[in-house]
Structure 1
Amino acid sequence: MKTEYMNIAILILTTCTLLVAFSQMRIASAKTRMDLYNKRFSIYLTALDYYQALWLDHSEESVKSIKEKAVSFTKAYRESQFLFDADSGIYEILGEMQQHGSTMSYYIKRRVECDTQNVEDRSDLLPLLTAYNESYPLFEMKLKTLELKMKKYLDFSKIDGWRLV
């Protein structure tokens, strides 16, 4: 009789341990998915910040901001190759955005330099402006393409809530 109670107690304890282990596994899995989501969303936000910095007013302060955003964007671009499927095209899109952003930021930097230093010969600005005007809509188009490509990775509308069983 005593062994029967002991066997029942062991069975109950084993079942409880199994339920706790299963719950911990589900929680760890959800946390990993959320961490991955946050890293991916951070890449999108970095691209958006860079875009916004490039089209806001062009002053000495904005040149510094653009440089900071460009550094963050480059880091996000390099990181993206590890966070998205290779066939998603996200890494390539970010690379193109980086090239367009670099073209745009160089024009902005040069124009601000000319303005602050009162440079009389601004003949180099015309080709830079032309390149800027070509790159701006392409950067914007790539940002929209990026949003579409990332939707699959950032769409949390079909999340299962946490449940015990």
Structure 2
Amino acid sequence: MASHFNTRWLAATLLMLSGLCQAGDLSPEPRYAGIVNGTVANIEQAGGWNATRVEQSGTSQQLQQQQNGLRNQAQITQGGAWNQASAQQLGRDNELTITQTGQHNQADVLQNGIGNVASVQQAGNWNQASVTQYGNGNQASVQQSSYSGSASVTQYGNNSTASVRQW
């Protein structure tokens, strides 16, 4: 497959401006990064078959993401400005999605177990969401729109479902 950009420039930029770290089965996996006005994405993966997709646009987006285990999946999308996301997946077969648009939104997700699913969608400004899952087979969804919303979901045990919608 032919490269359509200067890989030497990309490698130097990634080395200086972002942290990508992976340990585990040493299988080849694609990694992409775009550097935009103060945007930071720190991704750490240990284990096997973990996957993270990050899309950040706008100014000063922040992401801290860690996967430790097997077959964890994460998709984080941030648009607007000054949004922050923190995602930690420990265990296996966990899935999370964080989508933030607007300004000054913050999302924190912690999954510790097997087969948990978490989704955080925030639009507007100054929203905060926290999802914590300990156990197996839990599902949580937080949707916030407008201004200064705050939501927190904590799940202990197995096979629980929680949904928060604030408009």
Higher strand share: 2
Higher Rg: 1
The structure with more helix, counted as a fraction of residues = 1
Higher relative contact order (CA 8 A, sep 6+): 1
Q: What's the TM-score once normalised by structure 1's chain length?
A: 0.19
TM normalised by structure 2 equals 0.19
